[in-house]
Structure formats: structure tokens, C-alpha cells
Structure 1
Amino acid sequence: MTHGSSGAGQVRLTAVVHGTVQGVGFRYLTARKARELSLAGRAVNRADGTVEVVAEGPDSTVRQLLDWLESDEAPGRVSAVDAAFGPAAGGLGGFHSG
């Protein structure tokens, strides 16, 4: 897969992760997991204490990241994940936390 491309079967996940997810390495470990899955995107802290994760790649692989976000393997304490899927838009480059 070419990072940032929007080819057939590519989707974009936009997820807002709630709980104790800031100051616990959540963004760093989410970025590491996403890079392991060869996804493009970002994980950023939001002012309300949540973390927004945007990831693009093959549908099944993006869903693996979502499953991980909702699992006990994710750092901190995730209480809820609001997730929405749409078509890949491209332009994301690798996967960044910041």
C-alpha cells in the first residue's frame, strides 16, 4: 500500500477515544500499532481530554486498529470509542502522533 493513497477498498476511520487516554502513552502506542498495520493517519489530543484517531488503509486492517483501540491492550483506560467510517481521502502520509 502506498501511504496517503485512496485506492479501491481503502477506508478512513475517524475515532474519538474517551477515558483516561492522555498522559499515558496512548498516542505513541496507537501510532506504533498503526505503523505495524501499515496504516496512514494521526492520533492527537483534544482539549476535552479525548484522543482523535484518523486512520486510512484497507477496510479489514483499519478495523483491526479499531478492535485494538477498544481492547484491553490499548494503554490507559478506554471507556468508549466513537467511530465513523468513510471513503479514504488520502493526503495523510505515514502515521503520526502529535
Structure 2
Amino acid sequence: MERKHMKVYGTVQGVGFRYYTQKIAKKYSLVGTVQNVEDYVEIYAQGEAQSLEQFINEVKNGASPASKVESYDVEDVDVDHSLQKFKTI
């Protein structure tokens, strides 16, 4: 079990990015959150390492059809065992 903190920059607000990110997270059985913050989208995703890797690859390639990811940062953070689902904030 791992947990990642991801910041995604580019055309990622107002284009359905959070909805598609949540859909991808559910596809890989991940828990966590996605939210708009200032000029980027912030994601906390937790699950099995291979699922997280696939999730990050899909997100960085543009979670929604109208999005365009220009850059992103990913870091490891402590696992939060209280998380039960993936939700949009």
C-alpha cells in the first residue's frame, strides 16, 4: 500500500479533469481526493503500487479529453488508513 500526492498543472480546471480523475481512480480501486487549488489540481491517491503507477500515467496524459497537462509533481506521502473511497472536493 502506497499513497501519492500529485499536483497537475496546465489546462486542468473547468474541463472535467476532476471527474475523469475520479473515474480513473475507481478503475484502479484507489482511494483519496482530487480538488482544484489556485492554478492546479491536487490529487491524493492511495492503493497498490502498480495501480498507482497506471493511474499516474493516465492522469499525466490528460484525464479528460479537453485537458492538457503541461507539468506535474508527484511525491510519496504517509498512508492514511482512514480513507475509504475516492472523492472530488
- Whether TM-score is above 0.5 comes out as yes
Q: Percent identity?
A: 32
Specify the alignment match of 1:74 in structure 2.
Answer: 63
Q: Which runs of 5+ in 1 are unaligned?
A: 1-9
Q: Measure, in 2, the Cα distance between the counterparts of 1:97 and 1:63.
A: 20
Q: Which runs of 5+ in 2 are unaligned?
A: none
TM-score (norm 2): 0.90
Q: Which runs of 4+ in 1 moved over 4 A?
A: none
TM-score (norm 1): 0.83
How many residue pairs were aligned? 87
Q: Measure, in 2, the Cα distance between the counterparts of 1:22 and 1:92.
A: 25
Output the amino acid matched with 2:60: E
Select between 57-66 and 87-96 the one with higher mean Cα deviation.
Answer: 87-96
1:50 aligns with 2:75: no
Q: Which has the larger radius of gyration?
A: 1
Alignment RMSD: 1.1
